[in-house]
A = this chain, B = another copy of it.
């Protein structure tokens, strides 16, 4: 009358072989099975082998959910990232790649509209993540402050306005744009236009400050023009505006590569030659900026370094709320392309 052991084991295989099952089959306690998988050095080689064999035979896989509940650690890092944009996609990819080498996974929380961030953060809170990356330059001060209160490690990625509120990692936006500005001045540009993406983004503000301050110090004015989005299309459209401008500018500095690509193509469509009629610079150093079609002069962010530093901060787990939040600033590198000239 007893159910066939074969049927039973197949049912077991079908869903949820637990450490208890393995323990029973191997003739040891559940605790020992657990040890084999979490701290094998505490188990004698003989038992270890026996348990591992049994586990493999039954198809046992440790349940991370249960482990997380018990240990209060998930081994998962969350990332709050805008749903669009080449730059964020590349950052995300880099995070995922680097975390994988540290046996951490990346849980994605993307949002399409800045207004969605509140909802996303509420959702984030439910997961007891080991850390959280805030990768958006439009997250508000109040939301950052709220995040600081959380007991989980947080790091703001390339969000200058977050400095001092939560730990942050950024490229040196201001200095980078300042150096691009110097480059333009050195090559003789005197009428310079700045094209921003979204003026509320803190990166946009900081980069513009880098440009306008440096240009101002050299007596060059720098008008700010907002594309309205960090997209190719926005850049393409704003190019028309640039062409019609009087006095016509010598150079256009763009807040981001993706927008700069659009400006580049939009200018060409309008018959403006880069760099003959107009110099053009970008920012970010996206892989496409090096493509022959653009070969854009831009500030290259060492994304891998930025990401590595961000991960360090998250995993350091320095739960020392007393000290000021760390703020890492990584310098960028100018890559000189053919959208500017090197000899004045």
Binding site for B on A (CB under 8 A): 14-15, 61-66, 68-69, 74, 76, 83-84, 89-90, 92-93, 96-97, 100, 103, 105-112, 120, 123, 125-128, 151, 232, 236, 261-262, 264-266, 268-269, 287-288, 291-294
Contact = CB atoms under 8 A, between A and B. Distances in A.
A265 B287 CA distance: 14
A22 to B, nearest CB: 15
Contacts of A292: 236, 265-266, 268-269
Contact of A127 (B64, B69, B93, B109): B64
Nearest to A95: B108
A108 B108 CA distance: 7
21 contacts: A14-B151, A62-B126, A63-B69, A63-B126, A64-B128, A65-B68, A65-B74, A66-B69, A83-B96, A83-B100, A89-B92, A92-B92, A92-B108, A100-B109, A105-B108, A105-B127, A107-B108, A108-B108, A261-B293, A265-B293, A293-B294
Contacts of A268: 292-293
A292 B269 CA distance: 8
Contacts of A76: 107
Given A65-B69, A89-B89, A105 B105 contact: no
Contact of A65 (B125, B127, B266): B127
B100 A93 contact: no
A62 B287 CA distance: 41
A287 B232 contact: yes
A239 to B, nearest CB: 10
A70 B105 CA distance: 22
Given A65-B74, A69-B65, A110-B100, A232 B291 contact: yes
Nearest to A125: B61
Contact of A261 (B15, B128, B291): B291
A124 to B, nearest CB: 9
Given A269-B292, A288-B288, A107 B110 contact: no
B89 A110 contact: no
Nearest to A109: B105
Contacts of A112: 97, 100
